[in-house]
Amino acid sequence: MSIWVNEETKVLVQGITGSAARLHTRQMLDYGTKIVGGVTPGKDGEEVEGVPVYGSVQKAVDATDADASVIYVPAPFAADAIIEAADAGINLIVCITEHIPVQDMITVHHYLKSRPVRLIGPNCPGIITPDNCKIGIMPGHIHQSGRIGVVSRSGTLTYEAVHALTTSGHGQSTAVGIGGDPISGTSFVDVLESFERDENTDAVIMIGEIGGDAEETAARWAQENMTKPIIGFIGGITAPPGKRMGHAGAIVSGSGGTAETKIAEMESCGIHVARRISEIVPLLNKAL
C-alpha cells in the first residue's frame, strides 16, 4: 500500500513553535498523521495544536517512541536539527527547510552515512501515503489512495502531476518529494528501488528538472533493475540558455544536464517521457 510511511508512523515536528510549523502541524493532524510531539529548545512543557512540546529530540523520543521527524527549523540551524534527530534514533527525517548552506549539507551527508537513517530533502515538500500519513507541506486534498508511485525533485510539478492522476482515477501508493538541492538525502534510485519492491505499486511517475545527472543515473539503474513501467517528465524544457532556474540543483553545466540530454537518456533506457504534464496520464494508461 505504501513505502516508508503509513497510519502507524509516529511523527515529531522540529521547530513546531514557528508560524509555518504551526500551520502545517494543524494540516498534518487534520489529515490524520500521528503527530506525537514537537521539539523547540527552551519550550519544554508547552503545547502547539494540542501537541506536547519537548526541549530536545531525545526527550521527545523517550516520551513518545517517535520514529519519524519533520524539520521546519530555520536554515542556519537545520543541519544541527537533522543530526540531533539522527542521534536520537529517528529512522525517517523529512527536512522541509530551504536555503541550507551546501557546506552544512556536506557535513550532514557524511555524518549520516554510517547511521540507519533515511533523510528526505532538504528543500522538499515531504512524503505522503494518501489517506494514511502526510509528512510535510503537500496539499492532502489532491491525493487519492491507489497504486501509482510518484517521485519528484519539484514540489509544484508534483502537485500538478498528482492532480492529473487523481482526476483521471489513478490513485497513488506514495508520493515522495526528494527536493531540488545539490546535496540531498534520498535519490531517485532510492525511491525507485522501494517502489519496485512494493507489491502494491504498479507503475511510477518520475519528475525531474534540468541540472545535474540524477535523472540519467536513475534511468540507467531502472533499465537494469525495474520491471514496472516508469513515466518520466523533465521540468525546464523551455528554459532559455544561460538562465538559472529555480532550485539550487537546477544548474546546467557544459553540454550535460539539459532537458534534451535527460530526455534522450531516459528514453534510451526504456522510460516513457512526457513533454507536457498533460501527457503523463495518457502515457501511463498505455504502459499499464
- Please confirm, yes or no, whether 170 is among the known catalytic residues: no
3-state secondary structure 99-135: CCCHHHHHHHHHHHCCCCCEEECCCCCEEEECCCEEE
Nearest alpha-carbon partner for 173 in 190, 189, 149: 149
pLDDT tens for each residue of 98-148: 999 999 999 999 999 999 999 999 999 999 999 999 999 999 999 999 999
**Is CATH 3.40.50.720 the right assignment for the domain spanning 10-120?**
yes
- Model's pTM, two decimal places? 0.94
pLDDT of residue 62: 98
Q: Choose, from 24, 143, 170, 247, the residue flagged as catalytic.
A: 247
**Is CATH 3.40.50.261 the right assignment for the domain spanning 139-287?**
yes
Residue ranges matching CATH 3.40.50.261 in the chain? 139-287
Please, how many CA atoms are within 13 Å of residue 164, restricted to the half-sphere of its CB?
18
pLDDT of residue 1: 55
Q: Which residues of the chain fall below pLDDT 50? A: 248, 250-254
pLDDT of residue 243: 53
pLDDT of residue 254: 47
